[in-house]
Amino acid sequence: MNVRTLILAILNIQEATGYEIKKLSTDGVYSYFVDVSYGSIYPTLSKLEAEGVVTVRTEVQIGKPDRKVYEITDTGREEFVDSLATPPAPDKFKSEFLLIALTVSLGTTQTITKAIDDRIAHLESELAMIKEIADKEPECPDEEKSTGWVCHYGMSIKEFDIKYLKENRNALIALAGNPTQNNSQKTLQKSQLKTEKVSV
């Protein structure tokens, strides 16, 4: 899936301005599904409009710039439904925190403690946002009840992540500045490099 599919997903639920689509795609509810750049959204909207996949209307606002509101067409809805038949790519997970955890022997107790605290705070913030969305689910029409399932799936992941960090934080902190751990890590990396060379 790409930015085109994500925009159609948003417009399949609601009509929206380009700004609203940008916020939903990069900071809001839809930021969890497809990785998109801020600058790719407006060019994609222009292309979708040119192809008749979406329509746009201008709403005049007193004392404010005019609003351009996008709406999906029947053609766009058909394209979106067809795109859902494509098997999804594997999830991509990147974590700067895990790089810090991997190289914990080079850090100090203070830096590792802060990294863990920051990670937990970030996860709790995301969990609160998902819970807020889930709390609105009973008010949703039947065709949007899947929102609750997705929210509870996401909440389960976040809750487990937070629980694991809280229960195992001291074990990671204890490894800070440990040269033995650093040597073990180098040995593991060399072993992995040898394995990769043999497989090539």
Rounded Cα distance, 5 and 14, in Å: 14
Give me the pLDDT at residue 25, please: 86
Give me the pLDDT at residue 26, please: 82
Kindly report the pTM of this predicted structure. Answer: 0.70
DSSP assignment string, 33-84: T----GGGHHHHHHHHHHTTSEEEEEE--TTSPPEEEEEE-HHHHHHHHHHT
Give me the pLDDT at residue 17, please: 92
Domain layout of the chain by residue ranges: 3-83, 96-199
Q: How far is CA 147 from the centre of its chain?
A: 16
* Element holding 16 (H helix, E strand): strand 16-17
Tell me the average confidence (pLDDT) per consecutive run of 10 residues in the chain, 200 residues long: 90 91 84 82 94 94 89 95 90 90 93 96 93 73 72 93 97 84 55 56
Rounded Cα distance, 91 and 153, in Å: 14
Give me 85's structure tokens: 């038949």
Give me the pLDDT at residue 31, please: 80
CATH class label, 3-83: mainly alpha
Give me the pLDDT at residue 179, please: 61
Q: By the 8 A CB rule, do 10 and 17 touch?
A: no
